[in-house]
Amino acid sequence: MAGHIRLVKEKSGIARLILSRPENRNALTGEMIRELIGHLESLQWEPPEKLRFLVVEGEGDYFCSGSDTGELRRAGELPGDDSIREAFLFARLFREFSALPFPSAAAVRGGAMGAGAGLIASMDYVLAEENSSFGTPEARSGLVPAVASLYLGRKIGLAGLSAMTLRGGSLSAGEALRMGLIHRVSPGGSFREETAALERDLLSCGPDSLRKIKLLLLKMFPLPENGIEEFAAMQNAEAPASKEGREGMDSADQGRQPEWMPEKGKGDGGK
């Protein structure tokens, strides 16, 4: 599974992390998360004159579709401690991204769903194509986007988080922009130019200044405390093993409605 994350360092001071599993819309596996964490831990020690900022991209036409569904199902079959450790990987990943001492930006094509939405919420700036979609569809499969919610809530607040997580649907790029999840929508055909313009803007800023601003932002808007992070990771771990979680994943695999859906014509107050 190794090799699905590429790191490219440019002489200009830009570092690029590229999710490279396009055949699966860059769905995240445990191995990919470990690779990302390893790169982030290494990059954070780079001096300002060598590393100005980080850009994260998805290979192909989709940024990140979330967690790998096969691994989610297997996680529900793991012993309790192993399942919790896997859930904590996401908590660690989002924290590592958020705590970087330099700016990070996501260039989103196609969309960012589930854990992918949590990924962009842990970055400082998000540029997206106008046809991109965003969301946390976990509830529709009996799952809980718990760890991602910690970072989504930090970015978009309670009202935005409620709208995303409780309905389980998807948002257009325009809706995500109005909510504050992303910062700019790139009109059709101009995505590369918009990305290049963003990079020029960041390169025009003083490297030390950018790092001081990033530190200020972290002080003003602290990362989630350990207690709530542990609670969220427990929810992530328990959901795939639950009866509802298994039914949700089975129904999605089988192309049918989950058993909790009311029969057509029912659930309307008895009318």
Lowest pLDDT segment from 69-73, 78-82, 161-165? 78-82
Would you call 98 exposed, middle or buried from its count of C-beta atoms within 10 A (0-12, 13-18, 19+)?
A: buried
| pLDDT, position 271 | 43
Mean pLDDT of 2-28: 95
| pLDDT, position 77 | 73
Could you read off the pLDDT of 220-242 as tens digits, one per residue? 999 999 999 999 999 998 999 89
Which candidate, 183, 116, 124, 118, places its Cα nearest to that of 151?
Answer: 118
SS3 for the chain, per residue? CCCCEEEEECCCCEEEEEECCHHHCCCECHHHHHHHHHHHHHHCCCCCCCCCEEEEEECCCCCECCECHHHHHHHCCCCHHHHHHHHHHHHHHHHHHHCCCCCEEEEECCEEECHHHHHHHCCCEEEEECCCEEECHHHHHCCCCHHHHHHHHHHHHHHHHHHHHHHCCEEEHHHHHHHCCCCEEECCCCHHHHHHHHHHHHHCCCHHHHHHHHHHHHHHCCCCCHHHHHHHHHHHHHHHHCHHHHHHHHHHHHCCCCCCCCCCCCCCCCC
Could you read off the pLDDT of 76-135 as tens digits, one per residue? 676 667 778 888 999 999 999 999 999 999 999 999 999 999 999 999 999 999 999 999
Which candidate, 141, 158, 140, places its Cα nearest to that of 149?
Answer: 158
Lowest pLDDT segment from 48-57, 72-81, 158-167? 72-81
Say if residue 31's pLDDT is above 80. Answer: yes
Angle between the 80-98 and 226-238 helix axes, to the nearest 10 degrees?
130
Could you read off the pLDDT of 164-204 as tens digits, one per residue? 999 999 999 999 999 999 999 999 889 999 999 999 999 99
Distances (CA, A) of 227 to 21, 210, 216, 230: 33, 30, 23, 5
Q: In degrees rounded to 5, what are phi and psi of residue 210?
A: -60, -40
